[in-house]
């Protein structure tokens, strides 16, 4: 065995992210790790790549026990990780990023820019990128950055490669190139761990698959001997219709929000989108295709390059999130920790923030204990007491607290970016149910998600975004992942 | 009472004690103060008399006022290093004949208004231009010290309005008037932080600027108000300080800048987290002033005091981080 | 971070220093017209010689700023160095260097080990080291070793030896920052310590080295100052903190870290000095000069807009 992970557990404070997960990687194979948002895939990968140590359990590389606390140690032992979050430095050149930490040097000990430039061209060509190695990395498109990241990981002389959702931002051609690279690595006898929740590409690429559910081992299959249905059932643990509330049977209701020919900065556009009073609409698409640009345009009221946004029949003319809140819109951002929560503050204060917006600074601040308690009960937020710091709660309960923030205020439209990112499965279905309840009560919900099953299961309508343009609309429930992916990739420029 | 109930009660008491201990650690000023008083009781018992403690209280008023002001930008993850400049300008201005001999409202209104204007200027650059708070307020401080030299012509002196002197040195019976000023100012600041939209929103902004902004809070307006209040409190501190010395002097208040940061950190507030509240900050200022007296009494001069002050800032900051982890 | 104007990394770093070069050129022209004496070789050499200490301190400050830190303690280190160097003990100079390295170690230790904010940490050492300087030398005075006086007075080909030494040091520092692996890692750490760490940079070591170097350069500046004064002064370093930050900001090194170089800040020092000299020649009071310095600092830092308000 190239890599053996035995009985790994990991907890963050009171939150148990992984419990007794095991996995074995053979040389010359591609091993998929499958699981929903919050199932613990990324935590497991970070342990394998040395970002943080496991709370318990053992890791063996070629039979040798290893203990890693830092990414360097794993790298030195021959593990190369292509992380999900970009770790390229925007202020360095592409070549400088590729050689960071193992710079080529001249006899005088200085960085050998000329050689690095030449080597970089060669490496970039291997992943099919024709880029000037001197160019600032911060200037590249998202897909290009992802490919540079991949090139950086692949060029290392490693025995084990870890890919954490590498195709999330890639178009068709880039993804094909990546698969070629991975097959080549496999032919060289390397072991590859491949994380993704796109089933079709797993069947195309992988030899075996380990499924995680709720931080636990849920199953292990040879890819040829399993079916998509079996994998989904193992991953979700119950059938989808148990996880999601039933779709609405009535019509969408009158239009509440309408985007007409909207073009957001940096994208071709245009966006045309209408949301009815009782609808949950989802935005689908590859990573970084302008989904967030759309949600933020509505909420923050960026002046669009062209087009207009109508809210309840009137054009939205606010500037900044305070204006969006005043208009009756609430936003739950995709990066919950950085943009949503006030980590050191109490749960009550985190919820009551929803009531502060738009109030004069000299006015008394209200923290209505009863309303907050009612929301905590309604959303079944599990906590010791409302004065507890929100940082101590699990991801799912934190997300519910953000929901409570807008429920306490009472919004007319809720935008929810990645509603279940890092949320355990129990909280997931509760969140879905609340979102449906909101829509039924006349508060439409706009969500973005990287998980197609979530969009299909939850939304009434799925709108596909490519290069900042709405390029297709699919009904929820009955559409397939393949249809939606095809629209998302489309004739995308590579 | 059954045994189970007793055990439960015991556990409750233990949990409460633990929470209390943790609370005590949250504001290093309190354990520090108790420690200092204990040391003083042993080595310098005369420091423990009520009249002397009241003198220390009076001495600590300017620092406490400046530190309350300083704590507001710090809660919002900013800093105000310009208070030294504000105090220098106010000091030489109040010593001008126009102010000393003029109506009393001038001597009271000018410092507060001037502090507010400086705070507005700082905040404009920090919140709207988004320039580094440290460097902006340092630059403003340099400017203001230059202005104070210009006003005094490099040769300060003169006298101040009698009411200003009375405010700083007067007594009601045994109680210093300045102490009363501090109590009123601290109560107002405390009420504002705990009860007003401004206070709640400022804490949120300090905890996460992005989240506060996306939550629809008026983040920039809060920073403006925090900095203006910091300037106003510096102006108030300058009135009391000027009243003590009764004349104009060169670069008065330079020492108060670092000391105010030390008092704030000692009071349990660090960048972006106002855990200790106004009371903690006042306790921090009192502890520092008491420490200075204690050390002077023991024959330790300014060098030793600076060394200890430096160690206190680092120690309290380390403690705050350690508590978070 | 704003990336406008340049597409390659190297060009962006060079461009960052452009404004200060333009500023000093304009100033030189104005001064040349206003006062013929201002640009005479002797006056320029004098200015350079006076600024050697600040130049050295600024080089160290720049290294720390590149990592997105700030070192407020450099002024106190300058003071302490002159105090130790003038103390008359044998081995005064090695002792001064050791003391400075200890300050750097404490700064880095507090920041890395205890997670204290760099501003609070260096504020605390600034205060404590100022106390130490006053302890070692309560009032100005004392005398420095003879060789230091010789160094301060020596000239080679009409150029003062300190200026030549500073030029060599600045050149080496500039090469290291812009061309070496260490320099690259400084910028990587400054842009995002977390990403840099994942990307293969030993950020802890980089930050430790940065603060050690900053203290070391402050110490060199202090030694040079003590040699010039031929004595020690426990408060002489006070302006160096603000002045080095002003020069660094003026020189185009981003205070939020990750972008800049050594040449710009050094020219920033010269710009401030030339300006002061010009104002003196024009008989403008030092009080106005303080105000102008404050205004310049504010203007310089206003050019460094951050993504969100902050320290």
CA distance A379 to A401: 8
Establish if C122 touches chain B: CB-CB under 8 angstroms.
no
Are B173 and B115 in contact, with CB atoms under 8 Å apart? no
d(CA A194, CA A199): 12
Q: Is the dihedral of CA C212, C215, C218, C219 positive or negative?
A: negative
Residue with tokens 């992380």: A83
Tell me whether residues A101 and C199 touch, CB distance under 8 A.
yes
- Hey, is the C-beta of A352 within 8 angstroms of any chain B C-beta? yes
- Residue B125 DSSP symbol: I
Question: Minimal CA–CA distance to A309: which of A322, A297, A293?
Answer: A297
Residue B46 CB burial class (10 angstroms; 0-12, 13-18, ≥19): exposed
The answer to whether the CB of A349 falls within 8 A of the CB of B204 is yes
In chain C, which residues have their Cβ closer than 8 Å to the Cβ of B258?
A: 123, 126-127
CB contact under 8 A, A136 and C9: yes
* Shortest distance, CA A390 to any CA of chain B (angstroms): 12
How far is residue C111's CA from residue B16's CA, in Å, rounded to a whole number?
33
Q: What residues form DSSP beta bridges with B315?
A: none
Query: Looking at the partner chain, which of B134, B147, B209 has a beta carbon nearest the beta carbon of C70?
Result: B134
CA of C164 to nearest chain B CA: how many angstroms apart?
31
Q: Which of B196, B214, B324 has its CB closest to that of A339?
A: B214
Any C CB within 8 A of A266 CB: no
Contact list, C308 vs chain B (CB under 8 Å): 130, 209-210, 213
- Mean pLDDT, residues B264-278: 87
- A258 CB neighbour count, 10 Å cutoff: 17
Residue of B nearest to C112 (CA): B318
Which of A318, A338, A353 is the best mutation test for B, with the most CBs of B within 10 A?
A353
* Per-domain boundaries in chain C: 13-23+37-302
| Interchain proximity C298–B223, CB inside 8 Å | no
Query: A68 CB near a chain C CB, below 8 Å?
Result: no
Residues of A in contact with C202 (CB under 8 A): 72
CB-closest option in A299, A342, A405 to B207: A342
CA atoms of C148 and C225, how far apart (whole Å): 10
| pLDDT the model gives residue A404 | 95
**Nearest-angstrom CA–CA distance, B310 and C234:** 17
pLDDT of the residue at C4: 45
CA dihedral sign, ordered C195, C201, C202, C206 = negative
Is residue C282 within 8 angstroms of chain B, CB to CB? no
CB < 8 Å from B in window 43-72 of C: 70
- Report which of C216, C256, C6 is spatially closest to residue C98, judged by C-alpha positions: C216
Break chain A into its structural domains and give their ranges: 3-237, 242-489
Alpha-carbon gap, residue B18 to B232, rounded angstroms: 39
Nearest CA in chain C to B265: C120
- CB pair distance less than 8 Å for B216 and A367: no
Nearest C-alpha in C relative to A71: C198
C293:B310 CB<8 A: no
CATH for B28-324, options being 1.10.10, 3.30.1490, 1.10.3470, 3.20.20: 1.10.3470
Sheet containing strand A255-263, strands side by side? A271-276, A255-263, A306-311, A314-315
* A86/C contact by beta carbon, under 8 A: yes
Q: What is the pLDDT of residue A241?
A: 62
Give contacts of A 164-223 with C, CB under 8 A: none
Chain C residue at shortest CA distance from A49: C198
Q: Which chains touch C (3 or more CB pairs under 8 A)?
A: A, B
Instruction: Indicate yes or no: CB of A135 within 8 angstroms of CB of C196.
Output: no
Instruction: Please tell me whether residue A9 adopts helix, strand or coil conformation.
Output: strand
- Tell me how far apart the alpha carbons of residues C269 and C167 are, in angstroms, rounded to a whole number: 13
Q: Is the pLDDT of residue B13 over 70?
A: yes
In chain B, whose CA is at the least distance from the CA of C311? B133
Q: How many residues does chain C have?
A: 311
What's the Cα-to-Cα distance from A101 to each of A84, A97, A156, C180, C187, rounded to whole Å?
A: 20, 9, 12, 12, 13
The ipTM of this complex is: 0.87
Q: Give contacts of B304 with chain C, Cβ < 8 Å.
A: 131, 135
**Token pair 């603060």 in the structure block, residue:** C211
For chain C, say whether A326 makes contact (Cβ under 8 Å).
no
What is the 8-class DSSP label of residue B47? Answer: G
Cα C52 from Cα C217, distance rounded (Å): 11
Q: Distance between CA atoms of C81 and C98, rounded to whole angstroms? A: 10
User: What are the strands of the beta sheet with A469-475, ordered from one edge?
Assistant: A329-332, A413-417, A445-448, A280-284, A461-466, A469-475
* C131/B143 touch (CB, cutoff 8 Å), yes or no: no
Closest by CA to A297, choosing from A307, A288, A287, is A307
Instruction: List pLDDT tens digits, range B290-302.
Output: 999 988 888 888 8
**Measuring CA to CA, which residue among B226, B278, B276 is closest to residue B67?**
B278
CA distance B227 to B231: 6
- Which residues are registered as beta bridge partners of A306? A263
Residues recorded for chain B: 325
Query: Is C10 within 8 Å of chain A by CB?
Result: yes
User: Of C126, C130, C128, nearest to C138 (Cα)?
Assistant: C130
> Which chains does chain A touch, 3 or more C-beta pairs < 8 A?
B, C
Which range is most confident: A285-294, B239-248, C39-48?
B239-248
Cβ–Cβ below 8 Å for A134 and C10: yes
A10 forms beta bridges with A18
Q: Do B215 and A321 touch (CB under 8 A)?
A: yes
Cα–Cα dist A83/B59, whole Å:
57
DSSP state of A137: G
Over the Cα atoms of chain B, what is R_g? 21
Smallest CA–CA distance, residue A102 to chain C, in Å, is 8
Of the CATH numbers 3.30.230, 3.40.50, 1.25.40, 1.10.3470, which one belongs to the domain with range C13-23+37-302? 1.10.3470
Q: HSE (CB half, 13 Å, CA atoms) of A454?
A: 29
B10 band by pLDDT with thresholds 50, 70 and 90: confident
pLDDT category of residue C3 using cuts at 50, 70 and 90: very low
Most distant CA pair in chain B, distance: 80
C198 with A139: Cβ contact below 8 A:
no
Inter-chain CB proximity A110 and C179 less than 8 Å = yes
Rounded CA-CA distance B28/B34 in Å is 10
In tens, the pLDDT along C58-73 reads 999 999 999 999 999 9
- Helices B254-266, B50-75: axis angle to 10 degrees equals 80
Rounded distance between C-alpha atoms, residue B75 and residue B133, angstroms: 13
Closest residue, chain C, to B77 (C-alpha):
C310
A242-489 CATH: 3.40.50.300
In this complex, how many residue pairs, one in chain B and one in chain C, have their CB atoms less than 8 Å apart? Answer: 181
Whether A380 has its CB under 8 Å from any CB of chain C: the answer is no
Strands A15-25 and A3-12, how do they pair? Answer: antiparallel
Residue A27 burial (CB < 10 Å; 0-12/13-18/19+)?
Answer: middle
Distance CA B88, CA B112 (A): 13
Handedness of CA B228, B232, B233, B238 (dihedral sign): positive
Q: How far is B80 from chain A, CA to nearest CA, in Å?
A: 21
What is the percent of chain B with per-residue pLDDT over 90, rounded to a whole number?
Answer: 61
Q: Which fold has domain A3-237?
A: Rossmann fold (3.40.50)
Is the pLDDT score of B1 beyond 70?
A: no
For chain C, the 3-state helix, strand and coil shares in percent, each to the nearest 5, are 70, 5, 25
Q: What are phi and psi of A475, to 5 degrees?
A: -70, 145
The reply to whether residue A365 touches residue B195, judged by beta carbons under 8 angstroms, is yes
What are the boundaries of each domain within chain B?
Answer: 28-324
CB contact under 8 A, C311 and B134: yes
> Residue C40 contacts by C-beta under 8 Å, 6 or more apart in sequence?
none
Give the contacts of A252 (CB within 8 A, at least 6 positions apart): A275, A276, A277, A278, A279, A460, A461
Q: Is A333 on the interface with B (CB under 8 A)?
A: yes
Distance of alpha carbon C271 from alpha carbon C23, whole angstroms: 8
Among B307, B316, B318, which Cα is nearest to B285's? B316
- Contact residues on chain A for B225, CB-CB shorter than 8 A: 361
Q: Please provide the distance, in angstroms rounded to a whole number, between the alpha carbons at the two ends of chain B.
A: 40
Cβ atoms of A133 and A116 closer than 8 Å = yes
A382 interfaces chain C, CB cutoff of 8 Å: no
Q: What is the pLDDT of residue C67?
A: 96
Q: Distance (Å) from the C-alpha of residue A292 to the closest C-alpha of chain C? A: 18
pLDDT of chain A, 494 residues: tens digit per residue? 889 999 999 887 767 788 889 999 999 999 999 887 777 888 888 899 888 888 889 999 988 898 888 888 888 888 988 876 667 898 899 999 999 888 999 998 899 999 999 999 998 988 888 889 999 988 888 778 888 888 888 888 889 999 988 887 777 788 888 898 899 889 999 999 998 877 788 888 999 999 988 888 888 999 888 888 888 788 876 665 677 888 888 788 889 999 988 888 778 878 999 999 999 999 998 888 888 889 998 998 876 667 888 898 888 878 889 999 999 999 999 888 889 999 989 999 999 999 999 888 989 888 889 999 999 999 999 888 888 889 888 888 999 999 999 999 999 999 999 898 877 777 888 899 999 999 999 999 999 998 888 899 899 999 999 888 999 899 988 888 888 888 888 754 33
Q: Which residues of B touch A (CB under 8 A)?
A: 195-201, 203-204, 207-208, 210-218, 221-222, 225, 272-273, 275, 324
How far A348 CA sits from the closest chain B CA (Å)?
A: 12
């Amino acid at each position: 065995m190239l890599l053996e992970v035995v009985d790994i557990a990991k907890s963050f404070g009171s939150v148990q992210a992984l419990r007794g997960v095991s996995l074995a990687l053979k040389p010359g194979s591609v091993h998929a790790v499958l699981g929903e948002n919050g199932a613990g895939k990324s935590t497991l990968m970070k342990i394998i790549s040395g970002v943080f140590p496991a709370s318990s359990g053992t890791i063996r590389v070629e039979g040798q026990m290893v203990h890693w606390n830092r990414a360097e140690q794993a790298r030195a032992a021959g593990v190369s990780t292509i992380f999900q979050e970009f770790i390229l430095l925007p202020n360095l050149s592409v070549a400088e990023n590729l050689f960071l930490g193992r710079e080529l040097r001249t006899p005088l000990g200085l960085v050998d820019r000329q050689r690095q430039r030449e080597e970089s061209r060669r490496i970039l060509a291997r992943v099919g990128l024709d880029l000037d190695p001197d160019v600032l990395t911060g200037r590249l498109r998202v897909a290009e950055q992802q490919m540079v990241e991949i090139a950086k990981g692949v060029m290392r002389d490693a025995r084990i490669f870890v890919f954490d959702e590498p195709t999330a931002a890639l178009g068709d051609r880039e993804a094909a190139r990546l698969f070629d690279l991975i097959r080549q690595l496999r032919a060289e006898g390397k072991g590859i761990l491949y994380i993704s929740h796109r089933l079709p590409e797993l069947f195309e690429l992988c030899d075996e698959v380990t499924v995680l559910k709720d931080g636990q081992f849920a199953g292990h299959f040879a890819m040829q001997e399993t079916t998509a249905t079996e994998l989904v059932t193992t991953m979700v643990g119950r059938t989808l219709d148990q996880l999601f509330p039933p779709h609405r049977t009535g019509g969408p209701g009158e239009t509440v929000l309408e985007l007409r020919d909207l073009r957001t900065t940096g994208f071709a556009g245009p966006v045309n989108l209408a949301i009815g009073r009782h609808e949950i609409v989802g935005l689908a698409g590859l990573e970084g295709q302008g989904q967030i640009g759309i949600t933020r345009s509505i909420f923050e009221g960026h002046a669009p390059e062209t087009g207009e946004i109508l809210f309840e029949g009137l054009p939205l003319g606010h500037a900044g999130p305070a204006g969006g809140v005043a208009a009756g819109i609430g936003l739950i951002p995709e990066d919950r920790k950085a943009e949503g929560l006030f980590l050191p503050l109490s749960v009550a204060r985190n919820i009551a923030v929803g009531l502060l917006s738009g109030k004069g600074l000299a006015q008394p601040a209200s923290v209505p204990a009863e309303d907050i308690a009612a929301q905590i009960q309604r959303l079944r937020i599990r906590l010791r007491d409302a004065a507890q710091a929100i940082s101590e709660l699990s991801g799912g309960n934190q997300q519910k607290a953000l929901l409570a923030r807008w429920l306490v205020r009472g919004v007319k439209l809720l935008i929810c970016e990645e509603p279940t990112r890092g949320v355990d499965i129990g909280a997931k279905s509760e969140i879905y149910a609340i979102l449906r309840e909101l829509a039924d009560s006349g508060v439409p919900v706009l969500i973005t998600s990287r998980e197609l099953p979530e969009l299909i299961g939850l939304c009434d309508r799925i709108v596909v975004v490519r290069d900042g343009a709405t390029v297709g609309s699919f009904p929820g429930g009955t559409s397939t992942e393949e249809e939606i992916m095809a629209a998302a990739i489309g004739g995308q420029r590579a | 009472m059954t045994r189970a109930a007793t055990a439960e009660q015991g556990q409750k008491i233990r949990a409460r004690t633990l929470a209390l201990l943790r609370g005590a650690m949250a504001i290093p000023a309190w354990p520090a103060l108790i420690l200092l008083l204990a040391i003083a009781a042993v080595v310098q018992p005369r420091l423990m008399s009520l009249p002397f403690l009241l003198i220390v209280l009076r001495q600590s008023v300017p620092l406490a006022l400046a530190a309350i002001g300083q704590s507001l930008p710090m809660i919002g993850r900013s800093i105000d290093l310009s208070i030294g400049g504000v105090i220098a300008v106010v000091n030489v201005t109040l010593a001008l004949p126009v102010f000393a001999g003029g109506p009393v409202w001038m001597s009271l209104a000018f410092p507060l208004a001037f502090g507010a204007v400086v705070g507005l200027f700082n905040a404009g650059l920090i919140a709207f231009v988004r320039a580094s708070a440290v460097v902006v307020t340092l630059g403003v401080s340099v400017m203001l010290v230059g202005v104070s030299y210009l006003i005094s012509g490099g040769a300060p002196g003169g006298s101040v309005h009698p009411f200003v002197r009375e405010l700083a040195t007067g007594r009601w019976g045994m109680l210093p008037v300045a102490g009363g000023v501090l109590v009123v100012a601290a109560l107002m600041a405390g009420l504002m932080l705990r009860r007003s939209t401004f206070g709640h929103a400022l804490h949120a902004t300090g905890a996460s600027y992005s989240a506060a902004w996306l939550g629809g809070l008026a983040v920039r307006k809060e920073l403006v108000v925090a900095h203006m209040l910091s300037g106003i409190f510096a102006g108030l501190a300058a009135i009391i300080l000027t009243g003590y010395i009764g004349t104009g002097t060169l670069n008065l208040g330079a020492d108060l800048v670092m000391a105010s940061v030390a008092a704030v950190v000692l009071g349990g507030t660090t960048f972006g987290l106002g855990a200790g509240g106004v009371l903690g900050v006042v306790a921090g200022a009192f502890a520092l002033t008491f420490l200075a007296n204690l050390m002077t009494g023991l024959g330790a001069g300014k060098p030793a005091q600076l060394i200890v002050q430096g160690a206190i800032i680092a120690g309290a900051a380390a403690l705050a981080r350690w508590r978070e982890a | 971070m704003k990336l406008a104007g340049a597409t390659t990394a190297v060009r962006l770093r060079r461009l960052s220093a452009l404004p200060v070069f333009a500023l000093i050129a304009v100033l030189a022209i104005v001064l040349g017209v206003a006062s013929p004496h201002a640009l005479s070789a002797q006056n320029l050499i004098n200015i350079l010689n006076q600024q050697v200490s600040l130049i050295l301190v600024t080089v160290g400050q720049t290294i720390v700023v590149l990592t997105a830190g700030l070192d407020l303690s450099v002024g106190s280190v300058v003071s302490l160095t002159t105090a130790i160097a003038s103390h008359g003990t044998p081995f005064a100079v090695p002792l001064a260097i050791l003391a400075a390295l200890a300050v750097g170690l404490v700064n880095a230790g507090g920041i890395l080990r205890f997670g204290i904010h760099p501003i609070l940490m260096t504020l605390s050492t600034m205060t404590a080291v100022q106390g130490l300087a006053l302890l070692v030398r309560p009032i100005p005075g004392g005398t420095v070793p003879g060789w230091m006086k010789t160094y301060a007075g020596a000239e080679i080909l009409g150029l003062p030896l300190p200026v030549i030494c500073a030029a060599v040091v600045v050149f080496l520092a500039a090469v290291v920052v812009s061309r070496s692996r260490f320099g690259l890692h400084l910028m990587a750490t400054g842009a995002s310590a977390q990403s840099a760490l994942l990307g293969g940079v030993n950020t802890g070591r980089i930050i430790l080295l940065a603060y050690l170097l900053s203290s070391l350069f402050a110490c060199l500046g202090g030694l040079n100052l003590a040699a010039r004064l031929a004595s020690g002064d426990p408060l002489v370093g006070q302006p160096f903190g603000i002045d080095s930050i002003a020069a660094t900001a003026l020189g185009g090194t981003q205070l939020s870290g990750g972008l800049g170089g050594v040449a710009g800040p050094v020219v920033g020092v010269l710009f401030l000095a030339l300006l002061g000299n010009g104002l003196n020649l024009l008989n403008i009071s030092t009080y106005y000069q303080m105000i102008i310095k404050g205004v310049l600092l504010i203007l310089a830092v206003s050019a460094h807009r951050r993504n969100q308000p902050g320290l």
